Amino acid sequence: MTTTVEEQIRDTVTSNDVVLFMKGTKMMPQCGFSSRVAGVLNFMGVDFADVNVLADDGIRQGIKDFSDWPTIPQLYVKGEFVGGCDIITEMTLSGELDALFEKEGVAFSKDAAEKIRQANA
């Protein structure tokens, strides 16, 4: 039985607490926007799955259709689409990302989140 791209994406976002669909990997991002979001998550100590859309054209287009969002990266928390680079940046600076992680039981460093906010104040 072959799974469709949509099923593959749904399985990925539901079987991992935090998933970042990105260009490249969390250790080797291939674009600035992906690098920024992965950097925030890494700095905050969030355990997340990374999906390199450059490795699979089906996933690259499929994730845009799945979320109805035109750009990469895309962050999912507990199966829900959160946003792309600009939204994640805003949520990090406003504290909304902390609140979302706390509500969903995702472990992260509150100190690191504060440092990001202080550096961008």
**31 annotated to bind ligand:** yes
Measure CA 117 to chain center. Answer: 19
Smallest CA-to-CA distance from 23 within 71, 83, 78 is with 71
User: What residues contact residue 40 under an 8 Å CB cut-off, 6+ apart?
Assistant: 88, 89, 92, 97, 116
Question: Which residues does the annotation place in the binding site?
Answer: 31
Binding site for [2Fe-2S] cluster: which residues? Answer: 31
